Every structure is written in C-alpha cells, then in structure tokens.
C-alpha cells in the first residue's frame, strides 16, 4: 500500500514574518480567517461571474458570430474541458507548493484568457481563448476549497459556508444580469462579458497578497508530469469525441475509433503511471475509501445539474420564450434563492450538530424531483410553475454540492487533502462537461427533428430544417413563420434534456445512500498535517473501530 510522501517535521512551516504565531501552528482566529477569506471569496466570485455572465449572453454571441448549435455548446465545453483536465494538477500542486502563489498564478492565467476571449473575431478563436480561461478557472475553483480546508476544521466550516454561499449567490445572480445589461447596451456589447471580470480578478490578486498567509509545510516530493500528461490527453480525447460524434462524424467511424482508442490507451497509461509514481497526481489509494469513491460518483451527476441547467435554461428563456438576456437572468432567481438558502442553512446545522448525510440524501432526492418537473416544460409552460421547478432544483443542488466536498475532506488523510478535494472538483467538472456535450447533442438532434416535422409544408423550409444547427445560425434571417417554429421547437425540445438529467440523477441518490457518515473532525488541515501522517492513520483506525463496535452492539441487540 502506497503512503504519502514523508513530511519534514523539523522543517515545520516556512518562516514568514507576516504570518501570526497562531497561523504558524495551523490555528487561525475567527478574525484571521475572515481576513484571509476576503481575497479567496473575491477570486471565487470571479470564477462564478465569468461562467454565468457568458452563459446568458451566448445566444447573442453565437448569433453575432454566425455560429451553430454545436459551437454554442463548445464555447461552454472548452472552458469546462480545460478546467476539468487541469483541476487534479492544481490540487496536487497545492499539496506540494504554496497555495497562495498557485491562486495568484491561476488568477493571472484567467485574466489573460479573458482579455483574449473578448478580442475574438470568430467562434473557433473564442473557443480557444475560453480554453485558456478554463485553465485559470480550474485553479480558482479547486484552490479556494483546498485553502479553506487547510484553515478551517470540517466541524467549523459550516460557519463560513454562508459566506461562500453568499458569494455564489451574488455571482450567479449578478452574472446573468450584468451579461444581459452588457448585451442590451449598444455601446458596450457582448465582448464586455469577458472584460467585466478582469478588475475583480486584479483586486483579488492584491487582496490575496495582503491577507492570505498559510504555512508551507516542506515535503520531499517529485511532480508526476508524465501522469498529468496522460490524464490530460485521455480526458481531452474522450470529451472531444463525445462533443463531435454524431455531428462532425458518425458514431461508428474511423474518427471515433481514433478518439476512443487513443483516450482509453492514455487513461490506461495514466493508471499504470499513478501506480508507480512516488507522488501521483491522483493517488489511487483515495478510491479505496468508500466515502470518497461514492462522493465522486455523486459529484459527476451533480455536475450535470450545475452546468446543464444554467447553460440550456438561458437558451430556452431567450430563444423559445423571447426574453431579453436581462429578463432571462431575473427569471433564474428562484433557483439561486433555493440554492443559497439550502447551502447556508445546511452549513449552519452541520456545524451545530456534526451530522451531514441526511442533508445529502434529501438534496439528491430534490435534484431528481427538480429535473423531473423541468422535463415537463415546453414553449407554453407557465413561468410561475417554471420558477417553482427551479426552486426545487436549486434547494437540491445547495444541499449536495458543497457537502459532498466536506464529506471527502473529512475522511482523507491531511497529506491528500488537496488531491482529494481536486478529485471531487475534477469529476464534478467532468460530469458537467460530459453533461453539456451529451445534453447539447440531444437538444440539437431533437430540435432538428421537430423543425423538419413542423416546417415540412412551409415555403423555404428545406434550407432551414436540415438540423438544429442551421435553425439557430439563421434564426434572425429566416422568414417569420420559420422563426416562430424554430423557437417552438427549441422550447419543446428542452424538456427532453432535463428528462435525461433526471434519469441520471438517480445514480446520485443510490451513491449517497451507501456513503458512511463519519463524525466531523475538529482540526484544520494544517493542524492535522503538522501533526504528522500518523495522526490521520490513528483517526481513520478509530473511525473504523467505532463503526465495528456499533455493528457489534446492533447485532447483540438483535
């Protein structure tokens, strides 16, 4: 059985006069935590804002750049793909180097990608710079969670989850509104959707430099560059295949064989490399723990909920229902309100009582119910009903998303905290990427079918009914009757993608049902790390002993 790299106990934290004595021992006061959180929460706000502000402006962007439905999906998928592939690497680096420095590097990468994306003159160029933007976003989303785990114990983290939930709410609400206002303002336009996050990112860079002072525990390590290369190649090949198959080439084709074969070989090489690497990017020993494995499975499906609902909901509201980008943003408020309320309240209750599984169970059920309700929508659905459906989905996501990360961070050894946290984020992003690609393909196929059926007797329909892609690309230039039927087709097809997501969410319910609840730790990640690996082994052994003792007592009573 492989073990984490040895920790130099004598070295201790790196000397830093700016770090308070309490922080050097892995303990931070409430005031110090709030101060350190300021820069990290602003960085998280940037990540959320960049996702939501663009998703609501995408119909306008694709129409302006003469893009297609598949390109619409790829503008989102490129960012998710880059973020997904890079997340485990960021997480592993966080176990080896300064989390503060890595956060700053991620912000710089994000700023560069955002500026270049705003200058794009074609959809392929935009997709390329969105991928660079995704590299920075992968670092931000993973490293903020990792840094919080290093500062705050699992038992106390609920006190601060309200701040994270508030930032998530502000970013998610402000993004569509800001994006709508920018698109609807003639002298600004959609390009400012990429520029708007840059000042916030720059401010986060300064705040992190001034407020975040985490100890760096020196470890004798080597970076698994070969494993990182195989992981990136394998994931990228399979995700690109999922996105392009059926549109750019047939499912049964030479291209499919090359993508799938290459991806499978790369992942196999990655597994072999990880088994032999001294410091693997994704330690395979993590998957020996039931909680970690099941939480990762559940997170993949939650990724579909997070990304699929926001990406295609904006398209439904604007294309099918005719709302402006600003109004479409306002109409998503019920989902955001439910998400914020449930994540904040559950965080407080978890900190107070130390129990977390019940919230995951209820949340997973509500996600399935929410998707089931949304599967009934069409181009005539009452907007009040839509708001109620979205609120149910939002409550479910809020109860599961952050709490799955908490369950894993509470279980793994301190030396694997970064790798484990990023693994959850990685598979959640992977689920989101696959979800957006697959659901986008389902939507495109269904829209094409409905257009062909509905426009069969309309003059000029032959040119507009070839596929959903053609319908979207030529929406503004098509005859009025054709435009109407294209909008109706999008509205009626959207329910099917939510039906697929609802069926997938059953997997989350099953996975969470089998997760074993372990009492929340009362030490932060830094405290555990400075205490040595042995402490984690003792804690894990004690948890197993407690479970066995409980089973023995239950058997005796029976």
What's the rounded Cα separation, in Å, for the pair 314 and 322? 11
Written as six digits, the tokens of 42 are 């602003």
Each residue of 80-103: b (16+ CB within 10 Å) or e? bbbbbbbbbbbbbbbbbbbbbebb
CB distance 89 to 281 below 8 Å: yes
pLDDT at 24 over 60: no
| Residue given tokens 């969410």 in the structure block | 505
pLDDT at 38 over 70: yes
Query: How far lies 51's CA from each of 77, 168, 196, 304, 387, in Å?
Result: 11, 11, 12, 15, 21
pLDDT at 535 over 60: no
Q: In terms of pTM, does the model score above 0.85?
A: no
> Which pLDDT belongs to residue 545?
46
- 462, 467, 470, 472 alpha-carbon torsion, rounded to 10°: 120
Name the nearest CA neighbour of 71 among 121, 127, 115, 118. Answer: 127
Most confident of 48-57, 208-217, 259-268, 466-475: 259-268
Name the nearest CA neighbour of 232 among 353, 330, 90, 335. Answer: 90
| Residue given tokens 């300021």 in the structure block | 38
> Which pLDDT belongs to residue 539?
44
pLDDT at 543 over 60: no
Instruction: Convert the pLDDT of each residue in 429-466 to its tens digit.
Output: 777 777 777 787 788 778 877 877 776 665 555 554 44
Most confident of 4-8, 48-52, 528-532: 48-52
> Which pLDDT belongs to residue 541?
41
Mean pLDDT of the 76-91 span:
78
Instruction: Convert the pLDDT of each residue in 261-291 to its tens digit.
Output: 999 999 999 889 888 887 777 778 778 888 8
CB distance 520 to 356 below 8 Å: yes
pLDDT at 547 over 50: no
> Which pLDDT belongs to residue 84?
74
For residue 309, name the pLDDT band (cuts at 50, 70, 90).
low
Could you give the percent of the chain with pLDDT greater than 90? Answer: 9
> Which pLDDT belongs to residue 522?
60
> Which pLDDT belongs to residue 373?
94
For residue 162, name the pLDDT band (cuts at 50, 70, 90).
low
Mean pLDDT of the 411-427 span:
72
Whole-number average pLDDT of the chain: 76
CB distance 233 to 264 below 8 Å: no
> Which pLDDT belongs to residue 554?
47
């Amino acid at each position: 059985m492989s073990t984490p790299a040895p920790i130099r106990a004598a070295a201790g934290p790196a000397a830093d006069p700016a770090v308070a004595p309490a922080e050097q021992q892995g303990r931070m006061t409430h005031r110090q935590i709030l101060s350190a959180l300021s820069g990290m929460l602003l960085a998280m706000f940037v990540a959320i804002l960049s996702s939501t502000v663009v998703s609501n402006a995408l119909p306008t962007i694709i129409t302006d750049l003469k893009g297609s439905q598949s390109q619409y999906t790829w503008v989102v998928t490129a960012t998710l793909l880059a973020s997904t592939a890079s997340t485990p690497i960021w997480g592993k680096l966080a176990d080896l180097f300064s989390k503060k420095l890595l956060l700053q590097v991620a912000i710089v990468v994000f700023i560069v990608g955002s500026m270049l994306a705003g200058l794009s003159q074609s959809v392929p160029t935009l997709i390329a710079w969105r991928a660079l933007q995704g590299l920075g976003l992968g670092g931000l989303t993973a490293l903020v969670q990792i840094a919080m785990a290093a500062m705050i114990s699992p038992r106390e983290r609920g006190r601060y989850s309200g701040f994270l939930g508030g930032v998530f709410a502000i970013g998610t609400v402000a993004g569509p509104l800001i994006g709508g206002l920018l698109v609807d303002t003639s002298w600004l336009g959609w390009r400012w959707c990429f520029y708007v996050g840059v000042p916030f990112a720059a401010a986060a860079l300064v705040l992190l430099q001034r407020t975040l002072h985490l100890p760096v525990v020196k470890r004798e390590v080597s970076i698994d560059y070969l494993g990182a290369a195989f992981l990136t190649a394998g994931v990228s090949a399979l995700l690109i295949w999922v996105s392009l198959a059926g549109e750019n080439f047939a499912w049964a084709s030479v291209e499919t064989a090359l993508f799938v074969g290459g991806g499978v070989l790369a992942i196999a090489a990655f597994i072999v490399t990880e088994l032999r690497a001294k410091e693997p990017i994704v330690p395979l020993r993590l998957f020996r723990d039931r909680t970690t494995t099941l939480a990762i499975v559940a997170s993949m499906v939650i990724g579909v909920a997070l990304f699929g609902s926001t990406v295609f909901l904006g398209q439904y509201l604007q294309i099918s229902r005719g709302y402006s980008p600003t109004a479409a943003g306002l109409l998503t408020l019920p989902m955001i309100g439910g998400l914020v309320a449930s994540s904040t309240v559950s965080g407080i209750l978890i900190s107070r009582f130390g129990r977390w599984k019940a919230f995951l169970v209820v949340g997973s059920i509500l996600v399935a119910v929410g998707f089931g309700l949304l599967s009934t929508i069409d181009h005539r659905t009452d907007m009040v009903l839509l708001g109620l459906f979205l609120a149910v989905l939002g409550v479910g996501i809020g109860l599961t998303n952050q709490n799955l990360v908490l369950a894993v961070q509470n279980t793994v050894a301190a030396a694997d905290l970064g790798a484990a946290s990023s693994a959850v984020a990685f598979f959640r992003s992977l689920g989101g990427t696959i979800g957006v690609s697959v659901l986008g393909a389902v939507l495109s196929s269904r829209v094409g079918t409905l257009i062909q059926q509905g426009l069969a007797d309309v003059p000029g329909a032959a040119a507009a009914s070839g596929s959903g892609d053609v319908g979207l690309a030529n929406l503004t230039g098509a005859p009025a009757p054709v435009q109407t039927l294209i909008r109706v087709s999008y509205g009626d097809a959207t329910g099917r993608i939510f039906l697929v997501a609802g069926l997938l969410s059953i997997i989350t319910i099953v996975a969470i049902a089998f997760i074993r609840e372990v009492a929340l730790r009362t030490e932060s990640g830094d405290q555990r790390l400075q205490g040595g690996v042995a402490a984690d082994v003792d804690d894990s052994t004690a948890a197993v002993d407690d479970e066995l003792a409980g089973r023995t007592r239950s058997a005796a009573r029976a």
